[in-house]
Structure 1
Amino acid sequence: MNNPKAGRNDSTDPQLPRILFFNVNGSGMGHLNRCLSYARRLRDRARPVFFSLASAIELIEEMGFEADYFVSPYWSTSSTFAWNSELAVRFGMMLERVRPDVIVFDGTWPFQGFLAACESFGSPALVWSNRGLLKEGAKTVPVDESLFDLVIQPGELGAHESEAPLEGGGTRALVPPVCVLEDDELLDRAAAREALNLPQDGRFALFAMGPGNLKDVAGIGQGLIRVFEAAGFKVVWVRAPISVRDVELPTGVMPLTVYPLARYLRAFDAFVGAAGYNTCCELVQAGVPALLVPNTQLADDQVRRAQMVADAMPAIVSACETDEERDAAVGKLLGMLNGAPAKRAVIPMNGAVLAAERILALAAKKERVQ
């Protein structure tokens, strides 16, 4: 099930600036999600087009945007050199066809084939959307930020807009958390349950453990399912659009495939999942109490991010690796659910709007220069 109100992109006016988004295929949906967040705020003011390494390209098209797919290096059998060489040709063809005013790359580091194609094409403004909060000591690849006119850093919870100059004349802009939907696009409990064909009565827990990238998804997930079912919850398990294999679910657990998930979060009494960037931003936006199980195998510091959520709203952070940890974590969460509603912190969540405005301003600046 996907958003029936996504609409088509009617930005076909040839006078509108053309924005070409290049999203990589990460361990989750983050890169694609952020590009869609920006593109939706540019609708009818620009012509967003996608060049995606993420396999869930149908989600881009269902949102109403043009898209082209190129296989991720993680799924390609080619050598790094051969893959980058082919990327340079394919992306170069895309540049010739779209002739963008601005190129927005969202990924951990820009590929050599991507940079080579941009250099050969010439004049468009170049933007790098680069999420931070890496673990201390995490491996990074040096990138010459002077190549970019704008570096957007999607902020963590509590971040406020700020900027600093880059070598080469560009700007680094920190923005508040980036969400694909606006607050008024989230369904309330009754409407969300109706949309998902769930009964209005009963307690439901939503499990979103990621596309198989959480350590021992099956073991931790199924252990937690038993605890929640024992507490009287019905369990719904999200199957990620980019998952390469499905976890075998126990009898009685309902599978769910939906995008964007944020629209339907309020259908559920509790959320269980990893502490990825999208997940944490959307949980705070929707205000759904959560049990967060950080994935410590990724480069980003999910433990720290999960704690930020717990500081802002009702949430428990636990590795949930043993029965004892699972019982304790669920017990604490149930205590929160049964207690008086906690006061939520007021956190700015308008990063996508601010980033889109900067991208659009950059396009206008380039048009004046040319």
Structure 2
Amino acid sequence: MNKKRWLFYAVNGLGLGHLTRLMGLAHQLRQRSPESQFLFLTSSEAESLLWQEGFASVKVPSQAACRRSGLNYSTYVCLLHTVVTNAISAFRPHVLIVDTFPAGSAQELLPVLRWEGRRVFIYREQKSAVCGEKWFQDLLAMYDLILVPHTKGEVELPVPPHVPVEWAGPMLLRSQMEALDPKQARSRLQLPLEGQLLYVGFGGGGDPEYEQLLAWVLAQAECLPQWQFVCARPPLGNISAVAANLSNAPNVQQISYYPLAECWGAFDAAIAAAGYNTAAELLHNGIPTIWVPLPRQVDDQVCRAQRIAESQAGWMVNPYDSETLRATLLQLNDASVRSRVAAKAKQIVTGNGAAYAADYLLSWIRS
């Protein structure tokens, strides 16, 4: 009964959100149903992370890779549709789980949404101008179940009336219970065991402004010698140029590690983009964070950062607003302020919705 074939579909993005959410869910399903088969079908350019997490995958080119290699769009679409259709046909999944884009990035999923098998859509918060459109709602109607990776009431999402909806809560790759303690995390990341560490990051690295944003924040390092600024090398980006320019700054350091969800305890505070996964992880681990919302086509980072700030669980600073950034960084010097903000953050994301979603899916598929 439990020997099911699960196929997870994730398109490439500016970050790792689609892939990370699905890996978190697959991780929990595998713990509960180790006899099942799991396959990822993805255009993410970070597919090596699937191998690292122990999952098999079929990789198709991303639109970004095709543009860089000179493939025209019609060739890309033909290739994408052919590979996706053949891969799903060969694997014959009992359950197809799709994140954020119900038809894929170029409508490549439309044919298979009519095939035999159960279809589950991970419905992350999206801008109303996108998810409220009739074509989007018609696509959702082709699914058998909608899983919402938010706490019920946190966001408003339109859904077709006849499709079952389950609110799972924020889905994490690792919960705090699976993470390292602060000392272990600092050792794992080869960071100083003493002193105040400030994480600086802006997603998975696909944003063309990543280096510029990082340079903007690290320009404040000289004025705050009491903080060690730690920037991660993102899987989808290359910040070596910025790191080289700041190599002489004594309180700037670069790390390379995935998944950081295991090591958030190393940091006393953070400056980060307000993407879904980063927000969920930092809030869950109680890291006082300055949120810098970035413009996205689908994800409303401004709305998310505003909700967090209104809950006094962090601060919101607009990109390149240096004056507000400096003033907010000074607040982080107060340990009592950090402690108060950390407690508020933990109240927003109390558990791992991926665990709840896995339990629900296994019960649902048996029924």
Taking structure 1 as the reference length, what is the TM-score of the superposition? Answer: 0.83
Instruction: Tell me the amino acid that sits aligned with residue 28 of structure 1.
Output: G
Change (3 A) 1:273 1:339: closer
Change (3 A) 1:203 1:351: same
Residues 23-62 of structure 1 aligned to structure 2 (within 5 Å) = 23-44=10-31, 45=33, 46-62=36-52
Instruction: Tell me the amino acid that sits aligned with residue 238 of structure 1.
Output: A
Cα-to-partner distance string for 1:150-189 (whole Å, 9 max, x where unaligned): 12222169749x999845x531223211111122111121
Change (3 A) 1:30 1:147: same
Q: Distance in 1 between matches of 2:164 and 2:200?
A: 39
Change (3 A) 1:362 1:203: same
In structure 2, the partner of 1:132 is: 125
Residues 143-158 of structure 1 aligned to structure 2 (within 5 Å) = 143=136, 144=138, 145-155=140-150
Aligned residues between the structures: 347
Q: Report if aligned partners of 2:6, 2:38 keep a CA contact under 8 Å in 1.
A: yes
Helix, strand or coil at the partner of 2:333: helix
Helix, strand or coil at the partner of 2:88: helix
2:339 pairs with one of 323, 327, 341: 341
Instruction: Tell me the amino acid that sits aligned with residue 37 of structure 1.
Output: G
Q: Does 51-60 or 237-246 show the bigger shift?
A: 237-246
Cα-to-partner distance string for 1:46-75 (whole Å, 9 max, x where unaligned): 322111111111111111111111112333
Helix, strand or coil at the partner of 1:207: strand
Higher helix share: 2
Q: Report if aligned partners of 1:289, 1:313 keep a CA contact under 8 Å in 2.
A: no
- Report the CA distance between 1:268 and its aligned residue: 1.2
In structure 1, the partner of 2:202 is: 209
Change (3 A) 1:319 1:18: same
Q: Does 69-78 or 96-105 show the bigger shift?
A: 69-78
Aligned-pair identity (%): 26
1:66 matched to 2:53? The reply is no
In structure 2, the partner of 1:355 is: 357
2:237 pairs with one of 243, 247, 252: 243
Q: Distance in 1 between matches of 2:158 and 2:363?
A: 17
Q: Distance in 2 between matches of 1:165 and 1:216?
A: 34
Q: Does 126-135 or 27-36 show the bigger shift?
A: 126-135
Runs of 5+ consecutive residues of structure 2 not aligned to the other structure = none
Q: Report if aligned partners of 1:177, 1:351 keep a CA contact under 8 Å in 2.
A: yes
Helix, strand or coil at the partner of 2:65: coil
- Report the CA distance between 1:310 and its aligned residue: 3.1
Q: Does 326-335 or 239-248 show the bigger shift?
A: 239-248
1:189 matched to 2:182? The reply is yes
In structure 2, the partner of 1:22 is: 9
1:107 matched to 2:100? The reply is yes
Cα-to-partner distance string for 1:78-136 (whole Å, 9 max, x where unaligned): 555543332232122222332210011113341322221443xx311111112114266
- Report the CA distance between 1:247 and its aligned residue: 4.9
Q: Distance in 1 between matches of 2:154 and 2:322?
A: 36
RMSD (CA atoms): 3.0
Change (3 A) 1:152 1:364: same
Change (3 A) 1:290 1:240: same
